[in-house]
Copies of this chain bind each other. A is one copy, B any other.
């Protein structure tokens, strides 16, 4: 195997496609959106699988007992509006140079499919449970900032405080250097739980800006499951066995 190994599964023509990235991160917000899109659009088609020595050295065991090596996947997702080129997976790189190289390779694939706009999806941690799910934004240029602000995305001074890290951050950084308009949509989330409600807030913005239709049923189901989990935790907190922050981290 080389540093990268890009497996071609299909190469359909896409109509003015938009890259949408939903790799793991805070509250698994981006990943939830990606999974939801794959579930809702049945015509979604695996087009590329990217293996790399920069991923963790591991295989996942699927329900049928077969294994899949750590990878990222691109799916072509035709919608009633613009087509999506969806980037999803279970891993980020294991080292800093690996993040740069992986993201660069992802952008190469986006280029191949004629992508001229990109969205990186993620969460921004607030540290507390949330009632109203705002979506915070960042973008490579002023035009997108204006467009997204019109769509209800919030732009706040010094937020997220630590910048945007990992593949999401570098899609903006390296995207800008290639002249690819890229925006990051970050759903507010406690940071303690897998957060389908935050994912829904992000998806609603994406849908409005990219202009496609999608149902929310699967996300609503997951949100209800999480409500039950949160309720159980709150009851525990009032009881004697209060879980500490550590217990709360990434339940779901």
Of the listed stretches A30-38, A39-47, A73-81, A140-148, name the one at the interface; the rest are far from the partner chain. A140-148
Within 8 A of B (CB), among A168-223: 169-170, 172-174, 176-177, 184
| Contact A53 B1, CB 8 Å, known A69-B172, A164-B59 | no
Contact B96 A173 (CB under 8 A): no
A114 within 8 Å of B (CB atoms): no
CB closest residue in chain B, given A68: B173
| Contact A96 B97, CB 8 Å, known A57-B166, A63-B157, A163-B60 | no
Contact A138 B96 (CB under 8 A): no
Separation of A146 and B154 alpha carbons in the complex (Å): 53
Contact B174 A65 (CB under 8 A): no
Number of copies of this kind of chain in the complex: 4
CB closest residue in chain B, given A99: B57
A98 — which chain B residues lie within 8 A by C-beta? Answer: 96-97
Which of B63, B69, B145, B170 makes the CB contact (< 8 A) with A57? B170
Contact B65 A163 (CB under 8 A): no
Separation of A103 and B160 alpha carbons in the complex (Å): 29
Contact B1 A138 (CB under 8 A): no
| Contact A170 B56, CB 8 Å, known A1-B104, A94-B96 | no
CB distance from A184 to the nearest CB of B (A): 8
Separation of A177 and B125 alpha carbons in the complex (Å): 38
Contact A139 B96 (CB under 8 A): no
A160 — which chain B residues lie within 8 A by C-beta? Answer: 61
A95 within 8 Å of B (CB atoms): yes
A59 — which chain B residues lie within 8 A by C-beta? Answer: 138, 163-164, 169-170, 172-173
Contact with B along A231-248 (1 / 0, CB 8 A): 000000000000000000
A113 within 8 Å of B (CB atoms): no
